[in-house]
Amino acid sequence: QKEVEQDPGPLSVPEGAIVSLNCTYSNSAFQYFMWYRQYSRKGPELLMYTYSSGNKEDGRFTAQVDKSSKYISLFIRDSQPSDSATYLCAMSKAGNQFYFGTGTSLTVIP
Amino acid sequence: DGGITQSPKYLFRKEGQNVTLSCEQNLNHDAMYWYRQDPGQGLRLIYYSQIVNDFQKGDIAEGYSVSREKKESFPLTVTSAQKNPTAFYLCASSDRGQEKLFFGSGTQLSVL
């Protein structure tokens, strides 16, 4: 079993829709949770960073962590064509060891 | 501007040749990492280094080598022993205790 599972999609939505991206994990020791956005043939860009459980909001983006269910989500409100990218979830225990999902490909159609 | 610089952006390798990918960071981060990205497979860890003059193998280290002689530099050599080197290579760094990973812009390696 992989430590982090992420639905690869592809996901296609109309402009303005709310997008929900999700990851599940198996290791209860994970405490740090990240979402990255990666455009084609570019390096991943850190979008959201959360420690432990709860919600974090930044503009149109909201990250949620539910440690009891071992489930994390990224919501994108009022999605734009520029949001079209691959979204990677990542998580870490202490000690700078990182575990990644395989990424979800998102297309926002104008 | 602080960041991670990878070069070159594109690299071509002939059979039997060793090639070196450069990674430099000016973030003053202790830890540096090399990942390989293949379509549909996510990121796989090749090598990482938590401190100068020390590094550890990741999940797919065979056919690769690294050095960490300076805090800001972590070059990756793809040796002729790596039989399937075509991939997108990403260098990353993190600060001890921060548990955030920052990436460079990547190097696409292809075989001629």
Residue B97 pLDDT greater than 70, yes or no? yes
Per-residue pLDDT at B1: 62
Give Dmax over CA atoms of chain A in angstroms. 42
- Distance CA(A70)–CA(A68), nearest Å, equals 6
A to B CB pairs, distance under 8 Å: 49
Q: For A102, which of B40, B48, B90 is closest by C-beta distance? A: B40
What is the average pLDDT across B59-67? 97
Per-residue pLDDT of chain A (110 residues; tens, 9 = 90+): 789 999 888 999 999 999 999 999 999 999 999 999 999 999 999 999 998 888 999 999 999 999 999 999 999 999 999 999 999 999 998 777 899 999 999 999 99
Per-residue pLDDT at B49: 96
Contact indicator for B31, B96 with CB cutoff of 8 Å: yes
Strand pairing of A104-109 and A11-14?
A: parallel
Q: A32: which chain B residues are within 8 Å (Cβ-Cβ)?
A: 99-100
Give the percent of chain B with pLDDT over 90: 82
Strand partners, B92: B33, B103
The two structure tokens encoding residue B13:
């390798």
Q: B99: which chain A residues are within 8 Å (Cβ-Cβ)?
A: 31-32, 51, 92, 94, 96
The confidence band for B15, taking pLDDT boundaries of 50, 70 and 90, is confident
- Distance CA(B51)–CA(A4), nearest Å, equals 27
Q: Nearest C-alpha of chain A: how many angstroms from B42?
A: 4
What are the backbone angles phi and psi of residue B34, rounded to the nearest 5°? Answer: -125, 130
Per-residue pLDDT at A9: 86
The two structure tokens encoding residue B7:
């070069």
What is the average pLDDT across B18-23? 97
Q: B6: which chain A residues are within 8 Å (Cβ-Cβ)?
A: 43
Q: Is A42 on the interface with B (CB under 8 A)?
A: yes
Instruction: Answer whether B100 sits within 8 Å of A32, measured CB to CB.
Output: yes
Searching chain B, which residue's CA lies closest to the CA of residue A48?
B100
Residues 6+ apart with CB under 8 A from A46: A34, A35, A36, B100, B101, B102
Query: Is the preceding peptide bond at A10 cis, omega within 30 degrees of 0?
Result: yes
- Region for residue B74 given its phi and psi (left: phi exceeds 0; alpha: psi -120 to 50; beta: otherwise): beta
Interface test with A, best of B93, B95, B99 (most A CBs within 10 A): B99
Residue B2 pLDDT greater than 80, yes or no? no
Contact indicator for A61, A75 with CB cutoff of 8 Å: yes
